[in-house]
Structure 1
């Protein structure tokens, strides 16, 4: 997981906790929050945006190929129907 993303999430989480705390008891430090978030995200089955975009591109090319093959099959079926008649 990208450290930049984890740092951003942990900072936002720490700020939220500090806002909720309103100067009461001491809250866990940012390093502890970061470790908890990193652990939680590590257990999830996540991919980076680059990996997602690459797979989306592969899927798009695959769909285009399937559509082209469907057209070819339809044309062949039509030719077979015409020759059988």
Structure 2
């Protein structure tokens, strides 16, 4: 059976080799490049998106409530017109 200590040591050595190699520099450069691209795309964070989604949800609820009130008022005005039309004074 192979000792797990062997794999731990191998992993440490490989990590050290990768950190000292050009791969680490390449990763840094790619991250910087992608960061610049994302900045130019004018993206929003997840937190900002969630805040705006919550605002939109509340706005829709308020709009529905107002639409209901307007419909009730329109019915009331229509009923008043009907009553006045049948009872001219």
Q: TM-score range by the shorter chain?
A: 0.5 to 0.7
Partner of 1:51: 48
TM-score normalised according to structure 1 size: 0.65
Structure 2: runs of 5+ lacking an equivalent: 1-21, 83-89
- Runs of 4+ aligned residues of structure 1 deviating over 3 Å after TM superposition are none
> Could you state the TM-score of these two structures normalised by the residue count of structure 2?
0.62
- Stretches of structure 1 that go unaligned for 5 or more consecutive residues are 1-25
Whose radius of gyration is greater, 1 or 2?
Answer: 2
Task: Write 1 or 2 for the structure with the bigger share of helix.
Answer: 2
RMSD: 1.6
Q: What are the Cα deviations for residues 5-43 of structure 1, in whole angstroms up to 9, with x where unaligned?
A: xxxxxxxxxxxxxxxxxxxxx877111111111111110
Aligned residues: 60
